[in-house]
């Protein structure tokens, strides 16, 4: 199929940040062939012509850190102190099962697609079943089974994710859309030998590994008291750090930590919404970018940040980082949008395939309509996307040249069906969750 997209404001998000006020793009099957300023051409030679109706055409957004099996937790105990250990972990171990994780994943994928996310990194449990859901919905993803040094909802023994994860990598290693990885939970929830084994698996199969890092104050205290190190210094000390590592959060960083991240070419997934909602702080992204460390945006799980769209993260990033640095001019909209597109692709180590609209890359793109009340006027399309737009403005989403959203509707599934399926599988979860409910006056 050879398809022309015309009548759009085209933001390539390439290294030169080329943009075209009256742009066009031609793609054939899953590959972009041409982009540029529109001139009259013979439209009969195309199998389809898409009129963008003055919308904004840009690469699909990339979510570099999430847990798509956790939609059932959304809005539960949001204001609880130490919510992870007091609330989420015990409820997850008691209630999560394969059917619930899969129906949650399908619903989460729908939410991301409708919000313009075309690729994401997920770490959770029952990941083989979640991978099949991703495959069915034709989305691009990096997926890893969580490894944790305690029994979990899909393993009755500590570190069950190691064996599961290696088999998962072998099974999905050559998939066209899905990239398997290994996913240790965090340096304070995995022991040294397990972390070393994770690094061995990553090296053996040449796949990424991702973990939560320098996120919690008690994590920092633990490594300071036990090892007189930061978590990042500890990982270097045991030989578990490298360019395949995607480190989520990285809030509490020393200057030496930043030097180590730079030295080993570690990628960082920045989750501004989840981090600030939980009052953990604002990661020093300005310093990371000045050190040429690759950074992308993530939502964290729907239990942590409550939303899976990147538009929310764009606004929060601008507001918090400008305020944190006391500088309104820092991080112009163009740079922030880069973190959601090409920057995210670099974090996932896929920037040779996605993240910008360039000939030879995959046809992963979105069209954001400009007819809605919040989208007028457009002096600067980058500013409109960062400060004015929201997920409801996404009109069309293509992944690998396949239309997954058209006219704001899913093409391969019905949202109501996905919601009904999830609600059905949440019956026991909601019943058991009641005993974990915490009244606000006890928080």
23: CATH: 2.30.40.10
- Residue 375, domain member (yes or no): yes
Q: Are 200 and 80 within one domain?
A: yes
Q: Are 199 and 224 within one domain?
A: yes
Cα(285)–Cα(282) distance, integer angstroms: 8
Look up residue 89 and give its two tokens. Answer: 């972990």
Which letter, b or e, does each residue of 322-337 get, where b requires 16 or more Cβ atoms within 10 Å of its Cβ?
eeeeeeeeebebbbbb
CA-closest candidate to residue 14, choices 292, 422, 365: 365
The reported pLDDT for the residue numbered 434 is 76
pLDDT in tens, 85-100: 777 888 888 889 999 9
Question: Which domain does 49 fall in, by range?
Answer: 2-59+363-408
- Residue 21, domain member (yes or no): yes
148: CATH: 3.20.20.140
Average pLDDT on 421-442 reads 75
- The number of folded domains in the chain is 2
Whether the predicted pLDDT of 45 surpasses 50:
yes
pLDDT in tens, 330-349: 999 999 999 999 999 999 99
pLDDT in tens, 227-261: 999 999 999 999 999 999 999 999 999 999 999 99
Entry pTM: 0.96
First to last CA, the chain: 57
pLDDT in tens, 286-296: 999 999 999 99
Average pLDDT on 423-443 reads 71
Residues whose CB falls within 8 Å of the CB of residue 131, separated by 6 or more in sequence, listed in order: 141, 143, 168, 172, 178, 180
Q: Are 197 and 132 within one domain?
A: yes
Q: Are 148 and 274 within one domain?
A: yes
Whether the predicted pLDDT of 442 surpasses 50:
no
């Amino acid at each position: 199929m050879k398809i022309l997209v015309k009548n759009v404001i085209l933001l390539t998000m390439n290294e030169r940040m080329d943009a075209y006020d009256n742009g066009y793009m031609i793609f054939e099957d899953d590959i972009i062939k041409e982009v540029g300023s529109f001139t009259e051409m013979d439209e009969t030679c195309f199998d389809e012509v898409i009129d963008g109706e003055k919308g904004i055409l840009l690469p699909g957004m990339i979510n570099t850190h999430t847990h798509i099996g956790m939609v059932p937790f959304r809005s539960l105990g949001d204001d609880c102190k130490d919510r992870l250990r007091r609330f989420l972990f015990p409820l997850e171990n008691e209630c999560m099962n394969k059917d619930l994780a899969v129906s949650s994943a399908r619903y989460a994928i729908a939410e991301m697609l409708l919000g313009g996310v075309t690729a994401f990194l997920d770490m959770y449990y029952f990941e083989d079943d979640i991978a099949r859901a991703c495959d069915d919905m034709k989305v691009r993803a990096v997926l890893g089974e969580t490894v944790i040094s305690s029994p979990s909802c899909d393993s009755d023994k500590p570190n069950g994710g190691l064996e599961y994860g290696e088999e998962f990598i072998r099974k999905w290693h050559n998939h066209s859309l899905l990239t398997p990885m290994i996913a240790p939970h965090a340096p304070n929830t995995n022991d040294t030998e397990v972390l070393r084994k994770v690094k061995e698996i990553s090296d053996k199969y040449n796949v990424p590994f991702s973990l939560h890092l320098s996120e919690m104050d008690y994590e920092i205290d633990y490594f300071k008291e036990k090892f007189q190190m930061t978590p990042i210094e500890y990982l270097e000390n045991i030989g578990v750090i490298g360019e395949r590592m995607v480190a989520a959060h990285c809030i509490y960083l020393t200057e030496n930590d930043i030097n180590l991240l730079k030295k080993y070419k570690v990628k960082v997934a920045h989750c501004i919404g989840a981090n600030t909602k939980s009052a953990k702080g604002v990661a020093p992204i300005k310093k990371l970018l000045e050190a040429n460390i690759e950074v992308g945006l993530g939502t964290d799980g729907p239990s942590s940040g409550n939303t899976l769209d990147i538009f929310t993260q764009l606004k929060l990033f601008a507001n918090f980082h400008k305020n944190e640095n006391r500088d309104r001019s820092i991080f112009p909209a163009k740079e922030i949008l880069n973190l959601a597109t090409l920057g995210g692709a670099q974090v996932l180590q896929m920037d040779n395939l996605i993240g910008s609209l360039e000939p030879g890359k995959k046809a992963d793109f979105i069209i954001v309509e400009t007819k809605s009340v919040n989208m007028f006027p457009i002096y600067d399309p980058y500013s409109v996307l960062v400060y004015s737009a929201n997920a409801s403005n996404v009109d069309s989403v293509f992944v690998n040249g396949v239309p997954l959203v058209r006219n704001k509707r899913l093409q391969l599934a019905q949202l109501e069906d996905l919601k009904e399926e999830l609600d059905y599988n949440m019956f026991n979860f909601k019943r058991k969750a009641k005993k974990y409910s915490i009244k606000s006056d006890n928080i």
